[in-house]
Structure 1
C-alpha cells in the first residue's frame, strides 16, 4: 500500500501541475465529485462532527527563539527598488513526530505596522497555494512580470492597511510539507487543527501580534476553512491556558459554504448569463436534486454534461476574461488582469534563488495539488450551522462576491444567505468607488454581504482597487 501511495504521489506531480482554474482544471469540482459519491454510498454525514471532533486538547508548541530573525527576507529576487516594508517567510512545525510543517509569508504594512491588525489569508481548492495564488496573484505586495524574473509593486495590496499573513495549508500545498506521506490524506477537521496549531506557534514567534486585532479572510473552499478555524479559535479561547487569539472577524469571498446552493446557484448563473440554453437549464431544474441525501439520477448527469459542453472553452472563474494563449501573453483582460499571470508565478516560484530567498525547501512548486483534493477525507455538506454560530458570537461576519465568477457565483451566495434566515437591517444599495458603482451591499442581522462589480472568483486580481476599498471597510466595521 505504501509503495502504491508513493507511486500515486509521483504520478500526481506529473499530472496535476495545473493552474488554479486553468483551462479545464477545477480543483473544487474534483473534490466535490469524490465527496458526493461517498455520500451516495453512505448517507450519514453529520454536520456537527466538525464541532465535536474539534474539541480542545493542548496543542504542540515548539521553541521559537531566533526563528523570527531567521525568517526575515532580506530581498526577493527582482524586487522593485524602494520596497519599504518588512517581509518574513518560513516554516512552522505543527507535528514534530510526523515532520509536518506549514509554510507562511508575512507582508507587514509600510505604515503603522505596529498598530495595524493582523489578517490571515487562506486560499481554497482544497489544495491551492495561498502564497502563489493569494499573495503573488491577488492581494500581495508584488506581481510577477512577464519576464518571469522581476516583480512590480501592487499599489492596491492589502498590506497597505493590515499586516497580512499568508498560510499554505494543509501540508502538501505550496511549500508546506510533511515527512509522513499519509499526512497528505487529510480533510477539513485536520486542516482546522493544524491551522490553529500554526497560529499558536506563530504568535510565539511573533509575540508582538499576540494582542493585536486578528481577522481571517480568504476565498472559495476557504468557505470551509475559515468558519471552522474561527469556530475552533473561539472555542479554544474559552478553555485554553495557551495563547488567546484576538479574533475580531472573518470575510470570505465567493465562498463555497453549502453544496446545495453551490449547485443550484451555479446552473442558474449559467442560464442567466447566456452560457447554457433554456432546455438545459430546465432539464437540470426538473431532474437534479441537489439537497443532502438527494438521489443523483442518470438524467441529471446527462444534463450536467450538456451544461459543461455548452460552457465550452471559457474561464468560468471569470466568465468574461480572455484565456491565456501564445497570442495573449502580456495582454490584459477587460479588468486589466494579465490572463497569463499564473504562468509567470509558476516560473518565478520554481527558480532556486527565489526559493532560497523565501527560506523554502527546494521543491517543484505547484499552484494547486491535485493529490490533496483526490485524497480529501472529510467535508460537511454545509457549514451554514458553523456560520450561524459565528454570527451569534459577536465577531464580524462578511461574505463578498465577485459578480463575474461562474464557479461559486453571486447567486450561490445569495441562496446560501437565504438559508440562514437572518433579517435585513440595511437594504440592498449600490456602494461607490471613485464616482462609479463598486458593487452592491446588504446588511443583515450579524452578517454583511458585499458584491464587487466586474470581479471574478479572485476578486483582488480582477478589481484590485475595489477589492482594497471593500477590505478597508471590512476592517473598519463599516458598510462600504
Structure 2
C-alpha cells in the first residue's frame, strides 16, 4: 500500500527519470521511489537506482541500511557514500550502481523521509524494525517483479548492521513461508554494532596502542568500561546506554576529542567537550546522529531533492524525527545480536563482516572478539586460516585490505578507512562489493 503524500501517483507510474549531472551528462539510467505503509501511522520511504552495468538485468540487487538508528540511507548512504551522485550532485566514480542495482531505505520509520503520525508508532527494538522491513520488502518484490530472480544482498553500516542481522533472519523465515519472493544471497555487516560490549571493552586498548591514551587515561577508560559491563550483565540496558555515553565523555576528555569515526580525523569546533547540563541521549545524538545530518546535506535533502521527489508530505522534514527515533531505541542500544549471526550462519546464509582499520566506535579488535566467540561450527577453522592481501589496482604492490573466507563466512579488514568505509576508501569498497556478490 502506498503511503500518504503520493497522491495520484500509482506504483506503476512512479517517477522513472533521468538525472542530469551538473556537466549535462546523464546520471543513473533509471530510478524510482515511493512510500509503504508498514503499519497504521508508520510510513517508510525507499529509493531505488537501477544498475548502470551493461548486463543490469543480471547483476545483484543491494539494499543499503544506514546506522544511528536515525541515520538516513536515502540521504547519507546515497549522497555521501555509494549513490551515483555526491552531495554536490556530481557523478561519483566509485558508486555501487556500477556493480548492482541499489535500494536505499530510510529505516527505521521516522528516519530521513520516512515518518510516523505519532511518536508512539516509532520502533523500540530490532524485532520491530525487522517486522516493518518485512512489510516493505513484500511490497517491493511484489511490485518490482524483475528483482525476484536476481541475487539480493543486504549491506549495512554501524547500527544498520545490527538491524540487518535481525532483518535477514526474518527474511529467510518469510521466504520459507512464501510470504516474500526473492533470491536472498547474503548479508554484509559493515563496522556493525553487533556486540556493543565487545566494542566498549576494547576502546581503551585500541586507543592506547595507537598512542591516543596514556597510562592514566587508559585506567580511567577501563574503569568506565567496566561499569558498562556490569550494567549489561545485570540486564540494565538503559543504564548501560547512559554509562556508554559517560564512557565516551571520558574518552573525549583524555584524547582531546578523538573522532569516534576515524581516529586520524580532527573533530571540528562542535565536538562535544563537556557533559555538563546535557542528558546522555542528547550527547549520544550529537556524537552519532548529527554527523549524518550535516548542514549541506540537510539543505540538499530538504531543498533540491525534496522538489525532485515531489511526494514528500508538507509536514515532513528530512531528518525531522531523527532524535525521536534514536531516543525510542534507547533500551536496545547495548543489546547484542551475536546469537542472530550464529543462526544465520547455521542456516547457510552468506555472512560477511567488514571493518575499517581507523574506526573507534566499532573498532576491529572488538569485532574480532565477538567473531571469535561464535558458536557456528566453522569458526574454529576460519580462525586458523591466514588472511589474503588485496592490492590497490592503482598502486602496484600497495596493500589496501586483507580478507579471508571459510564456507559461508567472510571477513574484510579495510586499511586506511574509518567507520564510513565507502567514503574513506571508495575503490576498495566497490571491489569488496564485487567480491562479496561473486562478480570477481
TM-score in same-fold range (> 0.5): yes
Q: Structure 1 residues 279 and 85, CA, compared in 2 at 3 Å: closer, same or farther?
A: same
- What SS is found at the alignment partner of 2:180? coil
Please list, as runs of the form range in 1=range in 2, the aligned pairs for 1:62-461 lying within 5 A after superposition: 66-75=10-19, 80-95=24-39, 98-111=40-53, 112-145=55-88, 151-240=89-178, 242-285=179-222, 288=226, 290=229, 292-293=232-233, 305-323=249-267, 342-351=294-303, 353-358=304-309, 359-362=311-314, 363-366=316-319, 369-376=322-329, 379=332, 381-420=335-374, 422-425=379-382, 426-434=385-393, 435=396, 436-444=398-406, 446-461=408-423
CA RMSD between the two structures: 3.1
- How far, CA to CA, are the matches of 1:341 and 1:305 in structure 2? 21
**Quick check: 1:401–1:452 contact (8 Å CA) kept in 2?**
yes
Q: For structure 1, which runs of at least 5 residues remain unmatched after alignment?
A: 1-59, 146-150, 327-338
Aligned to 1:17: none
TM-score normalised by the chain length of structure 1: 0.75
**Superposed CA offset, 1:243-293 (max 9, x none):** 233211011110110122021122222222222222232344467152641
Aligned to 2:276: none
Q: For structure 2, which runs of at least 5 residues remain unmatched after alignment?
A: 271-290
Aligned to 1:57: none
**Superposed CA offset, 1:351-410 (max 9, x none):** 1x4213123334332298121111226527211111011111222100000111111111
How far residue 100 of structure 1 moved from its aligned partner, in angstroms, is 1.8
Q: Structure 1 residues 437 and 346, CA, compared in 2 at 3 Å: closer, same or farther?
A: same
- How far, CA to CA, are the matches of 2:321 and 2:388 in structure 1? 36
- What SS is found at the alignment partner of 1:476? coil
- How far, CA to CA, are the matches of 1:300 and 1:469 in structure 2? 34
**Superposed CA offset, 1:420-464 (max 9, x none):** 151234412322122221111233453211011111111101110
Q: Structure 1 residues 304 and 325, CA, compared in 2 at 3 Å: closer, same or farther?
A: closer
- How far, CA to CA, are the matches of 1:156 and 1:67 in structure 2? 30
Counterpart check, 1:468 vs 2:412: no
Which of structures 1 and 2 has the larger relative contact order (alpha carbons within 8 angstroms, sep 6+)? Answer: 1
**How many aligned residue pairs are there?**
397
**Quick check: 2:109–2:123 contact (8 Å CA) kept in 1?**
no
How far residue 305 of structure 1 moved from its aligned partner, in angstroms, is 4.5
Q: Structure 1 residues 245 and 253, CA, compared in 2 at 3 Å: closer, same or farther?
A: same
**Quick check: 2:72–2:292 contact (8 Å CA) kept in 1?**
no
- What SS is found at the alignment partner of 1:468? helix
Q: Structure 1 residues 237 and 276, CA, compared in 2 at 3 Å: closer, same or farther?
A: same
How far residue 123 of structure 1 moved from its aligned partner, in angstroms, is 0.4
- How far, CA to CA, are the matches of 1:61 and 1:302 in structure 2? 42
How far residue 137 of structure 1 moved from its aligned partner, in angstroms, is 0.4
Q: Structure 1 residues 77 and 157, CA, compared in 2 at 3 Å: closer, same or farther?
A: closer
**Quick check: 1:213–1:247 contact (8 Å CA) kept in 2?**
yes
**Quick check: 1:73–1:89 contact (8 Å CA) kept in 2?**
no
**Quick check: 1:211–1:245 contact (8 Å CA) kept in 2?**
yes
- How far, CA to CA, are the matches of 1:367 and 1:179 in structure 2? 12
- What SS is found at the alignment partner of 2:388? strand
